[in-house]
Amino acid sequence: MSTELHELIERLRTFADARDWQQFHSPKNLAMALSVEAAELMEHFQWLNEQQSQTLSATQRQQVALEMADVFLYLLRLADRLDVDLMASARRKITLNEQKYPADQVRGRSGKALQAD
Amino acid sequence: MSTELHELIERLRTFADARDWQQFHSPKNLAMALSVEAAELMEHFQWLNEQQSQTLSATQRQQVALEMADVFLYLLRLADRLDVDLMASARRKITLNEQKYPADQVRGRSGKALQAD
Amino acid sequence: MSTELHELIERLRTFADARDWQQFHSPKNLAMALSVEAAELMEHFQWLNEQQSQTLSATQRQQVALEMADVFLYLLRLADRLDVDLMASARRKITLNEQKYPADQVRGRSGKALQAD
Amino acid sequence: MSTELHELIERLRTFADARDWQQFHSPKNLAMALSVEAAELMEHFQWLNEQQSQTLSATQRQQVALEMADVFLYLLRLADRLDVDLMASARRKITLNEQKYPADQVRGRSGKALQAD
C-alpha cells in the first residue's frame, strides 16, 4: 500500500479507536456507509444537466470535494478492515479493463452499447 | 496530489482518451457510475451478517477487492474531471470530523444516537 | 393499505416463508437490497443522455420495468416487516411537498437552486 | 394500473406540471433521484444491527415511512414517464422469482450462497 494512503488509513484507525467506533465498523456497515456517501455525492448532480455538472461554482466544487472525501475515507476504512491493498487492486483492475475493452473495438461506444454486442 | 494517485489518474485519462470515452465522462455520469459500483460492492454483503462480513473467503475477498477498485477508479476519474485534490480533501475531512466528534463526547455511540442528542 | 398492494405483500410474505428467507429479511437487509436494486435500475441510464433515457427501445423498457419491479417488491417487503402503510405515507408525503414547495415560488427551479435560496 | 396507484401518479404529474418541473424529470434524472432516496432510507439503518432495525422507536418508524414514501413517489413518477404498468411488472417479477427459486431447492439459503451453486 502506498505510504500516503497508509498514513490516512492509520489516522482513520486511530480516530475510530479513540471513539470506540470499531464495533460499528463491520465490513457490511462500512459498505453501507460508503454507498450512502456515494449517493450524497451524486445528489449534487441529480438536477444538473451534464454540461452544468462540468462547470460547478467554487462553492459547489468545495462541497463536492468533501463528499468525495467521505467516499474515499470509507473506502480506506474498508480496505483496512478487510486487509485489501487498494493501490494494487486498482492497478489490477485497470489492466483487466484494458484487456476487456480493446481501444480499437470499443472506440466511442458506451457500456450499454457494448453489452448489446 | 500524491504521486501514486497521479499515476493512476494519468492511466485512467489515457484509457478514456484512447477509447473516445471522455464524452461519456461528465461529472454527473461519473457520480452515477461511482454510485452503481458502490452498490455492487455492497451487494456482496447484503445477506451476510456483520460477523460473516468480517470473515470472507479468499474468493469473496478478491471479488470485493475488485469492486473496491471500481469505486476508487471512478473516484479518481471524477477528481480528474473536477480538478479536485483527493488527498488534500481527505485530510481536510478527517480534521473536520475530529473537531465535529470530540472523542470524549461521542465514545461508543453511533451516528444516529449522536444525531438524537 | 390498498387491496392490490396488500395482495402483493401477501404473495411476497408467502414466498419468503416457503423458502425460510424471513431470517434474512431484517429491515436493515431489506433497505440494503432495495438500494442495490435502485442502483441496478439506474445503471440502465448511466451512459445515456437525458433525451435517450426518454426514448428507450422496447427491450430496454422491458428490462427497466423489471428493475422497477425489484425496487417495488423490496419496498413492499419492508413495508410489511415495519408495518408501514405505504399508500398513506405516500399521500402524506405529497401533501407535505405541496406545502413545502408552493408552485408560485418554485416554478421552473430545481432542487439545488431552491436550496440556495 | 391499479386505481389507487393511478390516483397517486396523477397527483404527482399535476404537482410537477404546476411547478414546471417536468423539464427536470427525465427518466435518467428520476432514476438518480430514486437511488438517492433509497440511500437516505438505508442511512437510518446503517449503524443499527439487524435486531435493532426490527424494533424502531415510533419516531424512527415515522421518519423511515416518509423515506419509503420518497422512494415510492419517484418510482411512480418514473412509471408515468416511461409508461410502465408497475403492478403488472411486479406480478410478473414475482412469478419469475417463483420459477427461478423453487422452494424445495433454496430453503434457508441466501442469495450469495445460491450463486455459489
Residue range D30-43: mean pLDDT, rounded: 98
| pLDDT the model gives residue A110 | 78
Interface test with D, best of A26, A36, A50 (most D CBs within 10 A): A36
User: What is the secondary structure of D78-104 as a DSSP string?
Assistant: HHHHHT--HHHHHHHHHHHHHHHS-HH
Residue C85's alpha-carbon distances to B78, C16, D82, in angstroms, are 40, 20, 26
DSSP state of A22: G
Q: Using alpha carbons, select from D80, D15, C112, D77 the residue that is nearest to residue A42.
A: C112
How far is it, in rounded angstroms, from Cα B26 to Cα C46?
11
Q: C-alpha cell of B95? A: 480534521
How far is it, in rounded angstroms, from Cα D54 to Cα C25?
10
Give B80-86 contacts, CB < 8 A, sequence gap 24+.
B80/B9, B80/B12, B80/B13, B81/A54, B81/B25, B81/B26, B81/B27, B81/B30, B82/A56, B82/A61, B82/A64, B82/A65, B82/B27, B84/A61, B84/A64, B84/A65, B84/A68, B85/A65, B85/B1, B86/A68, B86/A69, B86/A72, B86/B1, B86/B5
Task: Check pLDDT > 90 for residue D109.
Answer: no
Residue range D19-37: mean pLDDT, rounded: 97
Question: Which residues of chain A make contact with B75, given a CB cutoff of 8 A?
Answer: 68, 71-72, 75
Task: Pick left, alpha or beta for residue D107 (phi over 0 → left; psi -120 to 50 → alpha; otherwise beta).
Answer: beta
Beta-carbon contacts of C72 under 8 Å, excluding residues fewer than 6 positions away, are D75, D86, D89, D90
High-pLDDT (> 90) share of chain A, %: 89
Chain C residues 40-69 with a CB less than 8 Å from chain B = 40, 42-43, 45-47
* pLDDT tier at B3, thresholds 50, 70, 90: confident
Within a 10 A sphere around the Cβ of C58, how many other Cβ atoms?
7
Task: Check pLDDT > 90 for residue B114.
Answer: no
Q: Which chains does B contact via 3+ CB–CB distances below 8 A?
A: A, C, D
Question: Which residues of chain C make contact with B32, given a CB cutoff of 8 A?
Answer: 42, 45-46
| pLDDT the model gives residue C65 | 98
Interchain contact, C35 vs D39, CB within 8 Å: yes
Residue range C112-117: mean pLDDT, rounded: 54
Of residues D112 and B20, the one with the higher pLDDT is B20
In contact, C113 and A57? CB cutoff 8 Å: no
User: What is the secondary structure of C32-87 as a DSSP string?
Assistant: HHHHHHHHHHHHTTTTS-HHHHHS--HHHHHHHHHHHHHHHHHHHHHHHHHT--HH
pTM for this model (two decimals): 0.95
Question: Which residues of chain A make contact with C47, given a CB cutoff of 8 A?
Answer: 110-113
DSSP state of B47: T
Residue range B83-95: mean pLDDT, rounded: 97
> Using CB atoms, which residue from D24, D36, D47 is nearest to A43?
D36
Q: To which residue does cell 415510492 refer? A: D72
In contact, A12 and A76? CB cutoff 8 Å: yes
Interface test with A, best of B40, B61, B82 (most A CBs within 10 A): B82
pLDDT in tens, D71-100: 999 999 999 999 999 999 999 999 999 999
Question: Which residues of chain A make contact with B67, given a CB cutoff of 8 A?
Answer: none
Interchain contact, D90 vs C81, CB within 8 Å: no
Torsion of CA B19, B22, B23, B28, to 10 degrees: 140
Question: Which residues of chain D make contact with A39, given a CB cutoff of 8 A?
Answer: 35-36, 38-40
Phi, then psi, of A47 in degrees rounded to 5: -105, 5
| pLDDT the model gives residue B117 | 45
* pLDDT tier at B2, thresholds 50, 70, 90: confident
How far is it, in rounded angstroms, from Cα C100 to Cα C27?
29
pLDDT in tens, A62-82: 999 999 999 999 999 999 999
How far is it, in rounded angstroms, from Cα D97 to Cα A19?
44
> Using CB atoms, which residue from A47, A50, A113 is nearest to C110?
A47
pLDDT in tens, C11-65: 999 999 999 999 999 999 999 999 999 999 999 999 999 999 999 999 999 999 9
Interface test with B, best of A71, A73, A109 (most B CBs within 10 A): A71
Please compute, for residue B51, the number of CA atoms within 13 A of its CA located in the half-sphere on the CB side. Answer: 0
Residue range D14-27: mean pLDDT, rounded: 96
Question: Which residues of chain C make contact with B47, given a CB cutoff of 8 A?
Answer: 24, 29
